[in-house]
């Protein structure tokens, strides 16, 4: 929480090389890159292994000098944050800051899973399991990519309604006969791509059963450490299926965020309806409670009016 950040630049470190200026509006991503390691050279920003000083120390401390963890490289529940220049992506002034914040993770992760990890093409059959903020972004990405079927799966009726609103062609409850229901919809076919955007381990095994031959399971949600699942490797090989990890949508923020801004400007990406509520910092507990009870897609906290 607090890692999707947008705001204005108020200070730039003396040795920082950047074209950004004081007052520029930016989106801050948790993806931090050195720009020099092998992963960075290959364009794999999320896998950077290089040395960045902020990776070795936190800019936060208590009044007594004790170090505070720099949460997800951002620490966004604050009036000001200190981040590496690689984390800052400029965005236009006409993009409202409360919409822009979503581009820092949730929207970038969901759409990136579709655009970058899976590379969904026109005519593909897609299934998105879990219709929270990331799942709804994946649904929008699949629609933009021209997927023939964008099938949402979620146990909650309100989430299924939202899925349709954001572009799903069908929204289903998890059930034992889900495979048959999907085949009835798609003239006997199963998914080219099944995106699991929830952290529930049970969703992974369910997703595997929904894949067609040559299909790919895309793991987008992050279960807690130690969660295990099982699959039949012989069956996976016989069907030529794949399992793809998709941390942060395999995104490159400085390339992907401007593209998402263009999609928003063209009316193809709905950010406005993904922001369910906005709260001042002093009411942050209201925002957290909304998140816990599942009544919002995204609750945004504005540390400054």
Query: Are 98 and 42 in a shared domain?
Result: yes
On whether residue 207 sits in a domain, the answer given is yes
Query: CATH no. for residue 192?
Result: 3.40.50.720
On whether residue 111 sits in a domain, the answer given is no
Query: Are 175 and 275 in a shared domain?
Result: no
The 3-state DSSP class for residue 14 equals coil
Non-local (6+) Cβ contacts of 42 within 8 A are none
Query: Are 192 and 88 in a shared domain?
Result: no
On whether residue 76 sits in a domain, the answer given is yes
Query: Are 123 and 243 in a shared domain?
Result: yes
Which of residues 247, 271, 294 is at a domain's end? 247
The 3-state DSSP class for residue 299 equals strand
The neighbour count for residue 134, using CB atoms within 10 Å, is 27
The 3-state DSSP class for residue 54 equals helix
On whether residue 208 sits in a domain, the answer given is yes
Return the ∠ at Cα 137 (arms to 134 and 143), rounded to 5°.
145
CB 96 within 8 A of CB 122: no
Give the domain extent around 200: 116-247
Q: What is the pLDDT of residue 7?
A: 96
Query: Are 81 and 203 in a shared domain?
Result: no
Query: Are 243 and 256 in a shared domain?
Result: no
User: What's the CA gap between 52 and 70, in Å, rounded?
Assistant: 14
Mind listing the pLDDT tens digit of every residue in the chain (305 residues)? 899 999 999 999 998 999 999 999 999 999 999 999 999 999 999 999 999 999 999 999 999 999 999 989 999 998 999 999 999 999 999 999 999 999 999 999 999 999 999 999 999 999 999 999 999 999 999 999 999 999 999 999 999 999 999 999 999 999 999 999 999 999 999 999 999 999 999 999 999 999 999 999 999 999 999 999 999 999 999 999 999 999 999 999 999 999 999 999 999 999 999 999 999 999 999 999 999 998 899 999 998 76
Query: Are 31 and 87 in a shared domain?
Result: yes
On whether residue 239 sits in a domain, the answer given is yes
Q: What is the pLDDT of residue 234?
A: 96
Query: Are 95 and 161 in a shared domain?
Result: no
Query: CATH no. for residue 45?
Result: 3.90.180.10
Q: What is the pLDDT of residue 295?
A: 87
Q: What is the pLDDT of residue 281?
A: 93
Which of residues 226, 247, 268 is at a domain's end? 247
CB 136 within 8 A of CB 165: no
Query: Are 234 and 125 in a shared domain?
Result: yes
On whether residue 147 sits in a domain, the answer given is yes
The 3-state DSSP class for residue 23 equals coil
Q: Which residues are paired to 301 by β-bridges?
A: 279
CB 162 within 8 A of CB 137: no
How many domains does the chain contain in total?
2
On whether residue 110 sits in a domain, the answer given is no
Largest Cα span, the chain: 66
Reported as type and span, the H/E element at residue 159 is helix 157-165
- Is the Cα dihedral 270, 107, 203, 299 positive or negative? negative
Q: What is the pTM of this model?
A: 0.96
Query: Are 43 and 153 in a shared domain?
Result: no
On whether residue 132 sits in a domain, the answer given is yes
Query: Are 203 and 271 in a shared domain?
Result: no
Query: Are 46 and 88 in a shared domain?
Result: yes
User: What's the CA gap between 223 and 242, in Å, rounded?
Assistant: 19
Which of residues 247, 264, 281 is at a domain's end? 247
User: What's the CA gap between 113 and 248, in Å, rounded?
Assistant: 8
């Amino acid at each position: 929480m607090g890692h999707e950040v947008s705001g204005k630049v108020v200070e730039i470190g003396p040795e920082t090389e950047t074209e950004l200026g004081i007052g520029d509006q930016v989106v801050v991503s948790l993806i931090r890159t050195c720009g020099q390691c092998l992963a960075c050279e290959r364009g794999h920003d999320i896998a950077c292994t290089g040395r960045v000083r902020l990776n070795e120390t936190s800019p936060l401390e208590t009044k007594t000098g004790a170090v505070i963890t720099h949460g997800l490289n951002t620490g966004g529940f604050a009036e000001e944050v200190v981040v590496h220049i690689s984390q800052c992506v400029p965005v236009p002034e006409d993009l409202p800051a409360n919409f822009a914040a979503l581009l820092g993770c949730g929207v970038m992760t969901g759409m990136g899973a579709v655009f970058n990890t899976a590379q969904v093409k026109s005519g593909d059959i897609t299934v998105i399991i879990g219709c929270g903020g990331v799942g709804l972004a994946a649904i929008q990405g699949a629609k933009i990519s021209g997927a023939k079927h964008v099938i949402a799966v979620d146990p909650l009726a309100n989430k299924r309604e939202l899925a349709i609103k954001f572009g799903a062609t069908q929204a289903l409850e998890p059930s034992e006969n889900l495979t048959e229901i999907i085949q009835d919809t798609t003239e006997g076919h199963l998914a080219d791509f099944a995106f699991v955007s929830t952290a529930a381990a049970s969703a992974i095994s369910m997703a595997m059963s929904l894949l067609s031959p040559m299909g790919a399971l895309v793991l987008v949600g992050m279960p807690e450490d130690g969660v295990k699942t099982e699959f039949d490797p012989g069956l996976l090989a016989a069907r030529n299926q794949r399992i793809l990890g998709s941390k942060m949508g395999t995104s490159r923020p400085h390339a992907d965020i401007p593209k998402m801004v263009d999609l928003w400007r063209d009316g193809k990406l709905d950010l406005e309806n993904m922001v369910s509520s906005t709260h001042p910092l002093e009411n942050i507990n209201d925002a957290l409670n909304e998140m816990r009870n599942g009544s919002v897609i995204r609750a945004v906290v504005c540390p400054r009016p």
